C-alpha cells in the first residue's frame, strides 16, 4: 500500500482501553465456526475465527490491552510468541473498520 493510502497504525499501550463501538453488533456462529461483527451504520460485516471470537468476548464492555493479552494467554494453550503483535494487528483492523473504540490509558 502506498504511503498516501496507508491508514495510521493504531498505537496500543498496556493501559490503553479497548471497548466495542456501540454501533457494532456481534453474532456467534455454530460452535467452532467463529462469529460475525456487523457495523450498524455501514452494514459491513467482518468475519471472526475462534481467536477473534475470544478477543471480542474478552473486550466485553471494555478492557485494557495488557489485561486482554493476559486473558488470551490464559485461554490459549501454547500461545505464539507473536501474540501481542497478532492481536495488535487484529485490533488495528477492527479500529480501521470503526468496530472498536480506543481510550487513553487508564
| Chain segment 19-70, per-residue pLDDT in tens | 999 999 999 998 878 999 999 999 999 999 999 999 999 999 899 999 999 9
Beta bridge partners of 38: 25, 45
What's the total number of domains in the chain? 1
Residue 79, in any domain of the structure: yes
pLDDT surpasses 60 at 8: no
Distances in Å between the Cα of 61 and the Cα atoms of 20, 87, 89, 98, 102 are 7, 18, 20, 16, 12
Q: The domain containing residue 87 runs over which residues? A: 17-103
pLDDT band per the 50, 70, 90 thresholds, residue 3? very low
Residue 81, in any domain of the structure: yes
| CATH number for 79 | 3.90.930
Residue 10, in any domain of the structure: no
Amino acid at each position: 500500500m502506498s504511503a498516501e493510502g496507508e491508514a495510521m497504525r493504531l498505537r496500543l499501550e498496556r493501559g490503553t482501553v479497548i471497548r466495542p463501538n456501540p454501533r457494532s453488533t456481534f453474532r456467534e456462529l455454530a460452535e467452532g465456526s467463529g462469529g460475525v461483527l456487523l457495523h450498524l451504520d455501514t452494514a459491513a460485516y467482518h468475519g471472526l475465527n475462534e481467536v477473534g471470537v475470544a478477543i471480542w468476548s474478552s473486550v466485553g464492555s471494555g478492557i485494557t490491552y495488557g489485561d486482554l493479552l493476559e486473558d488470551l494467554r490464559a485461554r490459549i494453550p501454547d500461545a505464539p510468541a507473536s501474540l501481542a503483535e497478532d492481536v495488535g494487528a487484529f485490533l488495528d483492523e477492527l479500529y480501521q473498520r470503526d468496530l472498536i473504540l480506543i481510550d487513553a490509558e487508564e
